[in-house]
Amino acid sequence: MIGRLNHVAIAVPDLAAATAQYAGTLGASVRPPQDEPDHGVTVVFIDLPNTKIELLYPLGENSPIQGFLDKNPSGGIHHICYEVDDILAARDRLQAAGARVLGSGEPKIGAHGKPVLFLHPKDFNGCLIELEQA
Amino acid sequence: MIGRLNHVAIAVPDLAAATAQYAGTLGASVRPPQDEPDHGVTVVFIDLPNTKIELLYPLGENSPIQGFLDKNPSGGIHHICYEVDDILAARDRLQAAGARVLGSGEPKIGAHGKPVLFLHPKDFNGCLIELEQA
């Protein structure tokens, strides 16, 4: 069912410093920052040859990653995203297996303009998993 | 400098259950478990179309991931691995930029039989980064 690893998302406490580190020290291909007010984050995409890294920084007052940064002041890996062909079929299969989908269970439109869902970390080895319809 | 994302490593508290979940519920291509006594882990590789997931489970008394599981009993994302062409050149560049390399600074032979180094999470947004010479 799961396909490509679409991205690894890293929450960072200083977006400019993290961007400069990936572009400079690590020599990666880094895109300009992009505000995603609907998701409460500013995102910097880093293009690797086979997948992407997303640097996440809080935007606005109720950012979903502020709590994570409060607990992890140095930052950390926030989630990983697997692609699926059919997000509703994936959701139904996961729920039938007893896994919890976060929120209402209805897909939202994610930062890439595609339907996404998040799965409960406690049901997946402590990892927050995003599913994105490819 | 950094190339492909070689893998995402997830430490898991129950290797059989995690393997069954990836093979069954998530429908991924899962290889048989592989003991790595030199690294104190049993590893299950999950082949995604563009990269790999490594499930890590402690092996032996001094496993380097036991402490992580003690702090994160549900498991969690342990590290990410970027490929580099020349690990010694990568190390020198990182150290010149003030980043800390873990251990002696000399590459070890990793679970894939290739030279690897780990970078200090505090210098990389709270992420433990493995570099592997591709």
Nearest to B54 by CA among B23, B12, B96: B12
The verdict on A75 touching B (C-beta cutoff 8 Å) is: yes
Predicted complex ipTM: 0.95
Q: What is the pLDDT of residue B82?
A: 98
Cα–Cα nearest to B111, from B17, B37, B49, B57: B37
pLDDT per residue rounded down to tens, chain A (134 residues): 999 999 999 999 999 999 999 999 999 999 999 999 988 999 999 999 999 999 999 999 999 999 999 999 999 999 999 999 999 999 999 999 999 999 999 999 987 889 999 999 999 999 999 999 99
Taking a C-beta distance cutoff of 8 angstroms, is the pair B19, B33 a contact?
Answer: yes
CB atoms within 10 A of CB A113: 7
Answer positive or negative: Cα dihedral of A88, A91, A93, A96: negative
**A106 labelled catalytic:** no
Torsion angle, CA of A46/B103/B126/B123, rounded to 10 degrees? -70
Is residue A117 less than 8 Å (CB to CB) from chain B? no
Q: What would the two tokens of residue B91 be?
A: 């190390």
- Predicted confidence at residue A111, as pLDDT, reads 77
C-alpha triplet A66, A45, B22: angle, nearest 5°: 80
Q: List Cα–Cα distances, B1 to A22, A31, B55, in angstroms.
A: 9, 16, 26
Q: Phi, psi (5° rounding) for residue A44?
A: -120, 120
For A48, the closest of B4, B8, B13 (CB atoms) is B4
What range defines the domain where residue B89 resides?
Answer: 5-133
C-alpha to C-alpha distance for A105 and A102, rounded to whole angstroms: 6
Q: What CA–CA distances, in Å, run from A74 to A27, A60, B91, B117, B123?
A: 21, 20, 22, 21, 9
Distance, first Cα to last Cα, chain B: 12
The pLDDT tens digits along chain B (134 residues) read 999 999 999 999 999 999 999 999 999 999 999 999 988 999 999 999 999 999 999 999 999 999 999 999 999 999 999 999 999 999 999 999 999 999 999 999 987 889 999 999 999 999 999 999 99
CATH number of the domain where residue B57 is located = 3.10.180.10
3-state SS, residue B105 = coil
- Closest C-alpha to A121, from B77, B35, B82: B77
In chain B, how many domains are there? 1
Report the distance separating Cα A129 and Cα B70, nearest Å: 22
Position B93: which residue type? R
Question: Is A82 in contact with B26 (Cβ distance < 8 A)?
Answer: yes
Residue whose entry in the numeric block shows the structure tokens 């697997």:
A82
What is the sign, positive or negative, of the torsion defined by CA atoms of A75, B7, A123, B59?
negative
Residue of A nearest to B48 (CA): A4
Q: Given A54, A61, A83, A130, which residue is catalytic?
A: A130
Chain A residues touching B75 at Cβ < 8 A: 125-127
Among B1, B13, B25, select the one facing A97 at the smallest CB separation: B25
